[in-house]
Structure 1
Amino acid sequence: MTNTISEVSLEKAPEKFKEGENVTVNVKFSITGALRQAFNEKNWEKAYNKHDNVFKLRYGIKLYSGGLRKREIGKALDTYKKVALFWTRNPKLTQMGEKKVWVQISKNFEPFIPKNQVEAQEVLLDFDEKMHFNASELGVGKHKIGAEIYVSWFKHDYAEPFDQKAHSKEIEIEITK
């Protein structure tokens, strides 16, 4: 089974913006496939025992204005999520009594310890990022906006290397004076 970037969507609140306003677009996407299935307690313990304790998932998002000549708008996002496997005695974390390895997922240097395996998969592999730009970058009129997304990671005990790009469907916004 392979990995894919799926469910890519753009969401905006109002349909119209004034020329000087800041525009916020939510970019949502998920990683589906082999990694989602392999990211489980059994594989965490195997990887931990082989000293494969850190998993780094790098991703980026660029917004662009559509049309014949696409051009980047706003500031591109280039960041990562980092998983650290650790040994614990906390019975609330590990679901199986004899297993003692759990995960901590960090995004933008903010650590988070999920309560269960499903929550860990969602935190690591589901994305919802807010992208901002000034409406004056587009000018007055109707504009189509799209997003280019890339995701990559290196080979690990439970995951093959991955490097892929995906595009969202374009949405239309209107800028008024």
Structure 2
Amino acid sequence: MDENESRISALTLRGAQERPMNEKLFVLTLSFSIDGFIRQVLTQKNWEKAYNKHDNSLRLTVKLDIKNNGKIIESIKLIRKAIFFWTRNPKIDHRIWIMIVKDDTPFYPLEEEEARQLLFDFIKDIEIKPDALRKGKNDITVLVELSWGKHEFIEKNSVKKESNIQQIDNN
């Protein structure tokens, strides 16, 4: 493994269960993390250098291709942003800090590690309609493709990985 490489890790698809309030949907939970170089370089020192050069945000684009027996039945796009800003928060010992936008909600972490967890750790419920499934057994997988642009502290890149198979029985 190259030390300058980023990767998707702990990719798990689980929990093929019917939702009690709406029995028509199958719900799977997808969880994964982004590890490696991109996670290591997201430090206060690096985001302050980037801010000083007018590089004020890092945007992660995540594309989830939900597949049934190898055929894409739905695609979902997720966006996560790290925005670097000037702060006067007395709880923070630095003048440049970070805000994470996750599911259109801003978060203001107090620690670097908390910022990395908010930006790089994902848990997503995926709802599958029965009409996207055929009768009987269906093998569901999710192809995760993550990309980001060039920034002061990291080059443009993308990574992808396919999840384990989760079987849904559609009777």
Match of 2:165 in 1: 170
Number of the residue aligned with 1:160: 155
**Aligned alpha-carbon RMSD (Å):** 1.8
Secondary structure (helix, strand or coil) at the match of 1:21 reads strand
Note if 1:86 corresponds to 2:85: yes
Partners of 1:28 and 1:167 in 2: CA distance: 12
How far 1:13 moved relative to its partner?
4.7
Partner of residue 56, structure 2: 53
Deviation of the 1:87 alpha carbon: 0.7
Q: State the 1:109 CA deviation.
A: 2.5
Q: Distance in 2 between matches of 1:134 and 1:14?
A: 12
2:11 aligned residue: 8
Identical counterparts, % of pairs: 34
The amino acid across from 2:107 in the alignment is: F
Deviations 1:31-60 (A, max 9, x none): 100111111111111111111111111111
Is it true that 1:76 corresponds to 2:75 in the alignment? yes
Q: Deviations over 1:55-114 (max 9, x none)?
A: 111111111112xxx2122x321121111100111121x2xx4x2111111123321111
Structure 1 residue aligned with 2:29, among 26, 51, 56?
A: 26
1:90-169 map, 5 Å: 90-92=89-91, 94=92, 97=93, 99-169=94-164
- Cα distance between partner residues in 2 of 1:171 and 1:79: 21
Once the 2 structures are TM-superposed, how far is the Cα of residue 171 of structure 1 from its aligned partner?
1.4
User: Which residue, 24, 35, 39 being the options, matches 1:36?
Assistant: 39
1:90 aligned counterpart, secondary structure: coil
Aligned counterparts of 2:78 and 2:144: Cα–Cα separation in 1: 12
Q: Distance in 1 between matches of 2:166 and 2:103?
A: 28
Say whether the 8 Å CA contact 2:16–2:167 is kept in structure 1. Answer: no
Number of residue-to-residue matches in the alignment: 165
Q: Which runs of 5+ in 2 are unaligned?
A: none
2:17 aligned counterpart, secondary structure = coil
Q: Which runs of 4+ in 1 moved over 6 A?
A: none
Name the CA distance, whole Å, in 1 between partners of 2:48 and 2:16.
Answer: 43
**One-letter code aligned to 1:105:** I
Matched, 1:64 2:63: no
Q: Runs of 5+ in structure 1 lacking a partner? A: none
